[in-house]
Structure 1
Amino acid sequence: MQQKRQTLTKQKIKEVLTELITEKGLSAITVSDITRRAGINRGTFYLHYLDKLDLIDQLEQEVIDDLTAILLAESSTNQEEKNLDLFPYPLILQALQYVKSDFEFFNALTNRGRNQAFVEHFKAILGQLIHQKCQTHHIKSIRVHNMPDDYSHELILSHISAIIVLWIRKGAIEPEEDIAHMINDLKSFLPFELEG
């Protein structure tokens, strides 16, 4: 019962934070704003969080952990899988569906005050996905045209994260499947070479 009450309190705090970020921006919010609107006392807030930045860091880390679990899920063990797909459509689609399921929070993160920090975290997950796929398929480098590896990686990651952030900023009006296809189609628009 205690655990359920704590979970409900934390969920309420997250909902209130999301509303307040949307209304005022993160920098204008105080702990008092959060507790007043959530209908809790400051002591309850401080049982869970050090301050508002700790709150946002913990909430951001939760979604980053969830996205990491989705995107870095083990690929199919099908031995016939011959082609390296750096960004498998099913994993990208699942990640987009996750974003859509908590859209208000992601929208607040990307539109008001935390955009760059969140994008960098998301790019880091995509970078881990590339690294994991390359290790699995014994690929030493990925190059876009003749660019060095680090520039090639940054170009690929920036394109994907830009598509996702724009989708969120536009209100996630396009179906997740369409965005996953756009990301999958980047291989045609941004051809890269894999060197084993």
Structure 2
Amino acid sequence: METATKIDRRVIRTKEAITKAFLDLFAKKDLEHITINDIADRANVNRGTVYLHYSDKYDLLDKLIDDHLNKLTSLCNPTGNTPMASELLPVFVYIRDHFQFFSAMLSTTRAAVFRKRLMEFVAVRVEEKLERRSPHAEIDVELNAEFMASAFVGIVEWWIRRQMPHPPEYVAEQLRKLFEKNEVYPAHA
């Protein structure tokens, strides 16, 4: 059993090295110009090792995006009973803690795939909250969700591009206030 733990740790370290190498390259180059050899060289592994874990660079990118969106999903409150600031704070802390990934994905023009998936992720969650909070709202729920998802992603991009000039608590609170104005969360009583 101890051997399995050592192997798992090596696999984890290898995947982390591959991920870091990929993100370093992605921040500087278009995806089309990144090769598996580039990733392997930067990660200090054989190209076969990269292929052991990922079928190609697109699979690597997809798995990175899926992993981070799944982690963000786990931070969101599925019941909608948590106050907005409490729900948003872990999201912004997570983004801060994974700055390299989000910076690479959002601070370049090459990030359209991630931006689209993040927008869809946020829009679905906002729409669910809007439907629970105000099913007969004056503003169309789907349009409001898309509007708020665009605002959320825009704020995250602004925060990342400016090297996080405010702490996660401040950004979460500011965003909560904006969401209150758009009926996503009720105003404090």
For Structure 1 versus Structure 2, the TM-score category normalised by the shorter chain is 0.7 to 0.9
Cα distance 1:141–1:158, how it changes in 2: closer, same or farther (>3 A)?
Answer: farther
Q: Tell me the residue number matched to 1:116.
A: 112
Q: Is the 8 A contact 1:99 1:106 kept in 2?
A: yes
Gaps of 5+ in 1: none
Q: Tell me the residue number matched to 1:185.
A: 177
Q: Is the 8 A contact 2:40 2:47 kept in 1?
A: yes
Give the fraction of aligned pairs with identical amino acids, expressed as a percent.
Answer: 27
Q: Tell me the residue number matched to 1:67.
A: 72
- 1:191 Cα deviation from its structure 2 partner: 3.7
Q: Tell me the residue number matched to 2:3.
A: none
1-structure distance, mates of 2:138, 2:75: 26
Report the secondary structure of 1:24's partner residue: coil
- Equivalent in 22, 25, 37 of residue 20 of structure 1: 25
- Equivalent in 24, 49, 58 of residue 53 of structure 1: 58
Residues 10-38 of structure 1 deviation map (CA, whole Å, 9 limit, x = unaligned): 00001111111122232321101000111
Aligned residues: 180
Q: Tell me the residue number matched to 2:15.
A: 10
Shifted more, 111-120 versus 27-36: the winner is 111-120
Q: Tell me the residue number matched to 1:154.
A: 146
Bigger relative CO (Cα 8 Å, ≥ 6 apart): 1
Cα distance 1:162–1:141, how it changes in 2: closer, same or farther (>3 A)?
Answer: farther
Cα distance 1:136–1:27, how it changes in 2: closer, same or farther (>3 A)?
Answer: same
TM-score, reference length from structure 2: 0.83
Q: Which protein has the bigger strand share? A: 1
